[in-house]
């Protein structure tokens, strides 16, 4: 039990000592990590939704004689366009927040 307490105390001290001594700001680095993860995930989801749109278009064109398959393809294209719209809104919102609060630029406009 004493070894466990000693390990806990040592680990806690090692993790939070830079924060206590003002050597590192934990919230800034956490927010940077969150923003970087979001920036990494958005293009991946965008690419997946484009592929899903292409799949829906293929279903719509390939099975032109089957109205059930055509409806599935149309639904797939609708969901893909909806996902792309929400990704664009999220991207715009993040850019707006960066400009409004004068945050460092993580998303560069081209």
- The reported pLDDT for the residue numbered 57 is 95
The model scores a pTM over 0.85: no
Sequence ranges of the domains in the chain = 25-100
> pLDDT digit string (tens) for 53-81?
999 999 999 988 999 999 999 999 999 99
Compute CA distances 45 → 33, 38, 42, 86, whole Å: 18, 10, 5, 11
> pLDDT digit string (tens) for 74-109?
999 999 999 999 999 988 887 787 777 776 665 555
Distance CA 105, CA 99 (A): 8
């Amino acid at each position: 039990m004493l070894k466990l307490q000693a390990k806990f105390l040592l680990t806690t001290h090692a993790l939070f000592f830079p924060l206590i001594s003002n050597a590192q700001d934990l919230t800034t680095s956490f927010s940077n990590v969150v923003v970087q993860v979001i920036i990494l995930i958005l293009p991946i989801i965008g690419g997946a939704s484009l592929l899903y749109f292409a799949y829906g278009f293929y279903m719509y064109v390939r099975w032109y004689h089957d109205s059930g398959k055509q409806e599935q393809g149309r639904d797939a294209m609708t969901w893909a366009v909806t996902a792309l719209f929400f990704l664009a809104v999220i991207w715009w919102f993040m850019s707006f927040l960066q400009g409004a609060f004068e945050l460092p630029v993580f998303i560069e406009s081209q």
